[in-house]
Amino acid sequence: MTTLPAATPARKPASGAQQKLLAFASLIALLVFFSLASPNFLQTSNILAILQATSVNGVLAIAATLVIITGGIDLSVGTLMTFCAVMAGVILTNAGMPLPLGVLGAIAVGAICGTISGTLVAKMKIPPFIATLGMMLILKGLSLIISGTKPIYFNDTPGFSEISTGSLIGKVFPAVPVPNGVLILFILALVIGYVLNRTVLGRYCFALGSNEEAVRLSGVNTDAWKIAIYALAGSICGIAGLIIASRLNSAQPALGLGYELDAIAAVVIGGTSLAGGRGSILGTMIGALIMAVLLNGLRVMSVAQEWQTVVTGAIIIAAVYADMLRRRRAAS
């Protein structure tokens, strides 16, 4: 149960730290650059807007990181987020239940859907790309069906919008009213970072991505661990669903398609390998922040929208290429 291929974790820390440093330096460089380029960039309200723009993509990227480290991919994170938001709407608005039930319900629905994806991948041996592509479409359709293609508003649950837009930090430090959605993102990052680096689940997550066969041959029930990881990722999508629904004070059933690609982009900018076995939550967080800072900064500089897209694409390629160069040099 505890025997792990020793080589993999031993190689990880050194290169991981360097990658994070590089990504972090890029983030700082972007911040400095935009602050110099536009006088309006570096003000509290804009920094808070950037953090808020990161909250949903950051949470989805954390979910995607877990699955990607196992060597899989989860294309359903965006529509699962929407599905959980719609279910929260059904529980709170349509059924009129109390707020905590809606919150737990959304997370539970996420975990159940994650379990289904995990079972498709682990037990039925469907490639993760196909299994989660199928789930992505199923969940998009179900969201539209259950909501009757209309947004579900949370006007009857006054506390709901506080989940994302309220500010606990602002109550203590009125000068920096960091929205709760951002607080949730950072707490979640700490928790999942701990799970990945300090718990058995995290160790198997890396081990599955490095050499699944070796793990299985050493007597580990790889299927069960894989399903558990997909379920955890699913429940995190449930949290993302709560954050976005709370921010919009509504569950928007048509939303979600395309969000999986933003999440995956944040993950790879943060240095997590799509081949599995390597990655970190800190890297993913920096990746998500880089994307949000970049978009906001270009907007504040009034760069035309066509060029914003071009620059974002170029940055993704440049970030991953720089990481590969450094890795190759480290290896030689």
Partner 1 sequence: MFTRRTLLAAASATALMLSASLASAQDKIYIPLVSKGFQHQFWQAVKAGADQAAAEFGVEVTFEGPDTEAQVDKQMDMLAAALAKKPAALGFAALDSQAATPLLRQAQDAGIPVIAFDSGVDSDIPATTVTTNNLAAAALAADKMAELIGGAGKVALVVHDQTSRTGIDRRDGFVNRVKEAYPNIEIVDIQYGGGDQLMSTEITKAMLTAHPDMKGIFGANEGSALGVINAVRETNTQGLVVIGYDSGAAQKAAIKEGLMAGAITQSPVGMGYETVKAAIAATKGEALPKTIDSGFAWYDASNMDAPEIAAVLYD
Helix (H) or strand (E) holding 60: helix 44-69
Distances (CA, A) of 284 to 118, 144, 218, 270, 316: 22, 30, 30, 5, 13
38/221 with CB nearer partner 1: 38
Q: Provide the minimum distance between the beta carbon of 46 and partner 1 in the complex, in angstroms, as a whole number.
A: 4
145/254 with CB nearer partner 1: 254
44 CB-contact burial (10 Å; exposed 0-12 / middle 13-18 / buried 19+): exposed
Would you tell me how many other CB atoms lie within 10 Å of the CB of residue 130?
Answer: 12
Q: CA-to-CA distance for 239 and 55, rounded, in angstroms?
A: 10
Question: SS3 for 85?
Answer: helix
Query: Among 35, 76, 31, which Cα is nearest to 263's?
Result: 76
Q: Provide the minimum distance between the beta carbon of 204 and partner 1 in the complex, in angstroms, as a whole number.
A: 34
SS3 percent helix, strand, coil of the chain, rounded to 5, is 75, 0, 20
Q: Provide the minimum distance between the beta carbon of 119 and partner 1 in the complex, in angstroms, as a whole number.
A: 29
194/321 with CB nearer partner 1: 321
122/255 with CB nearer partner 1: 255
Q: For 153, phi and psi rounded to 5 degrees? A: -90, 150
Chain residues binding partner 1 by CB under 8 A are 29, 33, 37-38, 40-41, 43, 45-46, 49, 52-53, 56, 149-151, 153, 165, 244, 247-250, 252, 254-258, 292, 295-296, 299-305, 311, 314, 318, 321-322, 325-326
Q: Provide the minimum distance between the beta carbon of 140 and partner 1 in the complex, in angstroms, as a whole number.
A: 10
Q: Provide the minimum distance between the beta carbon of 265 and partner 1 in the complex, in angstroms, as a whole number.
A: 14
39/100 with CB nearer partner 1: 39
151/193 with CB nearer partner 1: 151
Query: C-alpha dihedral over 317, 318, 319, 322, to 10 degrees?
Result: 120
Q: Is the Cβ–Cβ distance between 278 and 12 less than 8 Å?
A: yes
26/272 with CB nearer partner 1: 26
Q: Which long-range contacts (CB under 8 A, 24 or more apart) does 325-329 make?
A: 326/18, 326/19, 326/22, 327/15, 327/19
Q: Provide the minimum distance between the beta carbon of 73 and partner 1 in the complex, in angstroms, as a whole number.
A: 22
Q: Provide the minimum distance between the beta carbon of 58 and partner 1 in the complex, in angstroms, as a whole number.
A: 13
Q: Provide the minimum distance between the beta carbon of 176 and partner 1 in the complex, in angstroms, as a whole number.
A: 16
For 90-221, where are the alpha helices, taking DSSP H only?
A: 99-122, 128-147, 162-165, 168-172, 180-198, 200-217
Question: SS3 for 189?
Answer: helix
Tell me the CA end-to-end span of the chain in Å, nearest whole number.
34
208/300 with CB nearer partner 1: 300
